[in-house]
Amino acid sequence: MQKSGRFILFSATLYLGFSLLANSNAAMAAGREAVLHCANTIVPALFPYMICSGILVQSGFSSVLSRYLSFIMRPLFNVPGSSALAFVLGCLGGYPIGAACAADLYSSGECSKNEAERLIAFCNNSGPLFIVSVIGIGIFGDALVGKLLYISHLFSAVLTGIILRSFAKSPLDSPKLLPKSVPHKTEKPLLAIGAVMDSSVFNILKICGFVIFFSVFAKMLPQTRLLPFVHSALEISGGTAQIANSDLELSLKMALISFFIAFSGVSVLLQVAAVTSKAGLSLKPYLLGKLIQGTLSFVITKILVSRLTLTSEVFAKSTAFEAACSPCDAFVSSLFMLLFGLFVLAVLLLFAKSAFDRGQKDFHH
The whole-number pLDDT of residue 311 equals 53
User: What whole-number distance in Å separates Cα of residue 230 and Cα of residue 56?
Assistant: 38
Q: What is the DSSP letter of 138?
A: I
Residue 7 CB-density burial (10 A; 0-12 exposed, 13-18 middle, 19+ buried)? exposed
CA distances from 160 to 20, 76, 152, 260, 276 (A): 40, 11, 12, 15, 20
* pLDDT tens profile 248-265: 888 899 999 999 999 988
User: Which residues lie closer than 8 Å to 32 by C-beta, 6 or more apart?
Assistant: none
Q: How far apart are CA 278 and CA 274, in angstroms?
A: 8
What's the whole-model pTM score?
A: 0.84
Rounded Cα–Cα distance for residues 221 and 298 (Å): 26
- Tell me if 261 sits within 8 A of 287, measured CB to CB: no
Choose the weakest-confidence range: 12-26, 149-163, 204-218, 226-240. 12-26
The 10s digit of each residue's pLDDT in 114-163 is 999 999 999 999 988 889 888 888 777 788 888 999 999 999 999 999 99
Structural domain spans, the chain:
29-172+188-351
Please give the average per-residue pLDDT across 36-55, as a whole number. Answer: 87
DSSP letters along 235-292, please? -HHHHHHHHHTSSS-HHHHHHHHHHHHHH-HHHHHHHHHHHHGGGT--SHHHHHHHHH
The string of pLDDT tens digits covering residues 301-335 is 999 988 776 654 554 444 444 444 678 888 888 88
**pLDDT at position 137:** 82
Q: What percent of the chain shows pLDDT beyond 70?
A: 85
- What is the mean predicted confidence (pLDDT) over 16-20? 77
pLDDT of 361 reads 57
